[in-house]
Structure 1
Amino acid sequence: MAKAILTQDVEGLGGRGEVVDVAPGYLRNYLVPRRLAQVATPALIAEAERRREAAERARREAQQRAEETAALLRRTVLTIPHAAGDDGRLFGSVTAKEIVDAIREARGVKIDRRKVRLEEPIRTTGTHMVTVEVAEGVTAQVKTIVTPES
């Protein structure tokens, strides 16, 4: 068996950066010519390990930043003025873009408007809980108060 470092994901074999054992002919005749892998030397194995550790460290740091941002957003109360009638019904509705703009103004945090989860559009004045996805698997409930414009 020959050792190879995969340069791309190969179905049934492994993911990019993994060190795998393969038949020498498979490595020489299929993986290397298609640039799917390279022959593993001790130096390349060490470099692949360093790269994998750096990627893991970056992923952990990004997850930690997302958790901190979510904690900040959970403590945030947004006030959004919107045109409304006397009965408290809005003329139109509060959109995800308005919520994102209010978050940016209140906390200076940039969030993609597609990450704001509204079960249904906000069409009345009052207090509403809005779910914001900060990162993969990290969400925050943001208290949003919609007030009539004066």
Structure 2
Amino acid sequence: MDIVLLEDVKALGKKGQIVKVNDGYARNFILPKKLGIEATSKNLNDLKLQKANEAKIQAEQLEAAKELAAKLGELSITLSIRAGEGGRAFGSVSGKEISQAIQTQLGLDIDKKKLVLPEPLKTFGSHEVPIKLHKEVTAKLIVKVIES
């Protein structure tokens, strides 16, 4: 029996693949657990339409990410931290603080998990912070850290 997989099945195949399995395996395991559906012409056509829709949504998300990256490339945010002895920074600026500053200063909602910040910013001045908006799009935002 030919089955179109709806989810990844270990040792059988990936989602969207058409695989040939024994009738009993399909009836007793794959179909009841909704891991796949029978590969009829209607189901194959539905799968093709679903893949086309997903591709369209992915393209729209990629375009939106590119537009946001272009917008972020022109903008900057300013954060202030206290200065300790000798003009050294007392504390640091974390991804959470940068995310909140983007929200308040620019009005954009960017999750702190999208910021590619290996460690908090501990020095004054301008820093370029990469933001992973999409798996193919990374924007750079200028973060200016000043003394308060």
Please indicate the TM-score interval, normalised by the length of the shorter structure.
0.7 to 0.9
The normalised TM-score by structure 2 is 0.82
The corresponding residue for 1:56 is 55
Distance 1:86 1:70 in 2: 38
The one-letter amino acid paired with 1:128 is H
Residue pairs, 1:1-150, within 5 angstroms? 2-85=1-84, 87-149=86-148
Distance 1:16 1:78 in 2: 42
Q: CA deviation at 1:38?
A: 1.9
Instruction: Give 3-state SS (helix, strand or coil) of 1:140's partner.
Output: strand
Gaps of 5+ in 1: none
Q: 1:39 to 1:125 in 2, by over 3 A?
A: same
More strand by percentage: 1
Which segment is superposed worse, 29-38 or 53-62?
Answer: 29-38
Instruction: Give 3-state SS (helix, strand or coil) of 2:119's partner.
Output: coil
The one-letter amino acid paired with 1:140 is A
Instruction: Give 3-state SS (helix, strand or coil) of 1:79's partner.
Output: strand
Q: 1:32 to 1:119 in 2, by over 3 A?
A: closer
Identity of aligned residues (%): 34
Distance 1:28 1:120 in 2: 52
Q: 1:67 to 1:29 in 2, by over 3 A?
A: same
The normalised TM-score by structure 1 is 0.81
Instruction: Give 3-state SS (helix, strand or coil) of 1:91's partner.
Output: coil
The one-letter amino acid paired with 1:130 is V
